[in-house]
Chain A
Amino acid sequence: MLHEMSLNINGETYPVVVKSHDTLVRVLREQLGLTGTKVGCGNGECGACTVLFDGAPVNSCMVLAVEAQGHRIETVEGLSQGGDLHPLQKAFVEHNAVQCGFCTSGMLMSAKALLERNSHPTEQEVREALVGNLCRCTGYIRIVDAVLDVAEAGS
């Protein structure tokens, strides 16, 4: 079954035709070419596919594309503005918070949602906000430091 609809992604409207069983991440990556969002486990454990759905982090591998109609979707591609990296992206670079990079876009989106609801999180709150994002490389310390750095810079 096909659904002719539009998706609001990073503030832009994309007309799409999706199948009922298409997941949001599949449409983002394979139809719209927004491949910054990654697919890891497909079970809601790794968080590599995290996007913001009306501002809240969700696993885009567990949302049907058709369910996203009428909602505001943000992906990692929407972070940089006018060629300037988002403060979180800059901090990830400065802190070397990236090794293989597969978890990075999901980490950035979860961190963005955290800082939007709590601009001064404690280290514990940062760690709790990133529970749903697995990183097999960094040991998390540099990622947590990068997020805390942005929180402090914004104070």
Chain B
Amino acid sequence: MRPFDYYRPETFEEAFRLLTLPDKRVMPLAGATDLIPMVRDEHWQPDVVVDVKGLPGMCDVVEMPEGLIVGAAVRMVELMHHPLVNSPRWNLLAQAAAAMGNEQVRNRATLGGNLCTASPAADSAPALLTLEAKAVIRGAAGERRVPITEFFLGPRKTALQKGELLIGVLIPAPPVGAVGTYVKLSRRKAGDLAIVGVAALAYPHDGGHVWCLALGAVAPTPIRASEAEAALNAGHDEATIEHATKCAFDACCPIDDIRASAEYRKAMVSRIARRAIEGVLAKLP
């Protein structure tokens, strides 16, 4: 593996100094489950890696008035079992964490790493899109919050500027009565990346329901399927569900890769969206 230098700062000041070292390629390190294979295969060539796990708050889950703050270095296994994340309000994220990788990977991989790698197939992304989360970003100049829909700019591209760190995610509590489901299609039932991932969330409103639907692995970034949502907001009889799955089909623009052809992905988006919608309907009171 190409050599790099490793630092584990305990203050943000030191982290930002390291992240902006002149003439060095510097990368943050959290769970390392993406970084090590990527460096070994020479896709990434950092001179310096900055372990963010020792920074204040990075490994914490805290409930605030505006929602749940999940530190960027919180691991997938912790999301699965944390009493706040795995509660009726936010368990869609716990479901997504459980769908990711295998036990060995979930014991290391972090939420921040899953987001910053910015794979269109990131399992945590569709859940955070439907929960309308915000990325909490900190740099030497201060903190800013970016809606998760604006965080992903393309495959492996995010809104992070040089010298900035994703320090966590703010997830507002969804309205009372919200229920969500994440459905993932992959080549095997576990331990693989998504061919298609769909998160669906609905909550009671004004005698009906408001729906949120997000699709992973079928576009350059994870996306919201807003036309499918609008269709479902009007009702969820069979014809409407069928129409909503067609809207999801129309919303995606997948690629061919080693896991599936674009054609297969498009065909499966409708099926998986239907399973997610039916999963939510089964949970609605």
Contact = CB atoms under 8 A, between A and B. Distances in A.
Contacts of B104: 44, 47, 50, 57-59, 110, 132
Most buried by B among A23, A42, A44, A61: A44
B40 interface: yes
A115 interface: no
B4 A110 contact: no
Most buried by A among B3, B5, B107, B190: B107
Mostly, the A contact residues are mixed
A131 B106 CA distance: 12
B3 A64 contact: no
Contacts of A42: 37, 40
Contacts of A1: 3-6
B201 to A, nearest CB: 26
Interface in A1-45: 1, 3, 19-21, 23, 42-45
A3 to B, nearest CB: 7
B2 interface: yes
Contacts of B1: 21, 23
Q: Say which size band chain A's interface belongs to.
A: 20 to 34
Given A21-B1, A131-B102, A131-B103, A62 B108 contact: yes
Contact of B102 (A20, A21, A44, A61): A44
A56 B107 contact: yes
A21 B108 contact: no
Interface string B92-110: 0000000001111101100
Given A44-B102, A67-B32, A58 B107 contact: yes
Given A44-B104, A57-B107, A59-B105, 15 more contacts: A1-B4, A1-B6, A3-B6, A20-B3, A20-B5, A21-B1, A21-B3, A44-B37, A44-B101, A58-B104, A59-B33, A62-B33, A66-B8, A110-B103, A132-B103
